[in-house]
Amino acid sequence: MIRRFAPTHAITLGLVLCVTGYITWSAVSASSTLNNLVVVAPVAVLLVVLCLIIVATALLRPEPDPQEAHYSAWGDLALLAGFAVFCFGLTTVGFDVATFLFVWAGVVVSGGQGKWQPPLYAALFTVLMVEGFGALFPYPMTTLVL
């Protein structure tokens, strides 16, 4: 059975695609050189593909069982509080440590199981983020370990 797609989700994805299209159009009309589009074009393609995947999985997933479906806002509130601590920690303990701790806590709060998988995922994500942003940004980031 095909699920119904929530209108708020459709509006959000529509806004994401509209903003992506506008930014891509603006970048191409400013200059179509590779240096200008090196970040914009791949991110735009990635966002379009991700939106298509989100729509396809939402429409093809079966309806959840009403007895099993319960929502608790505590996990969302914990992630929001963690994000506030993460933002504060970016300048105090460094981008690398703050990202590692936030991702680790986010994986655990979101239901990550096991003793070694959440910190391993957080470590890999942190290394990729710090090295990736370090290559993109012309100024140094505050880091403690990396």
pTM of the model: 0.55
pLDDT, tens digit only, all 146 positions of the chain: 456 778 888 899 999 999 999 999 999 999 888 887 888 889 999 999 999 998 888 888 777 666 665 667 787 787 788 889 989 988 899 899 999 998 998 888 778 788 888 999 999 999 999 888 888 877 888 888 87
DSSP codes, 16-85: HHHHHHHHHHHHHHH--SHHHHTTHHHHHHHHHHHHHHHHHHHHHSPPPPTTT----THHHHHHHHHHHH
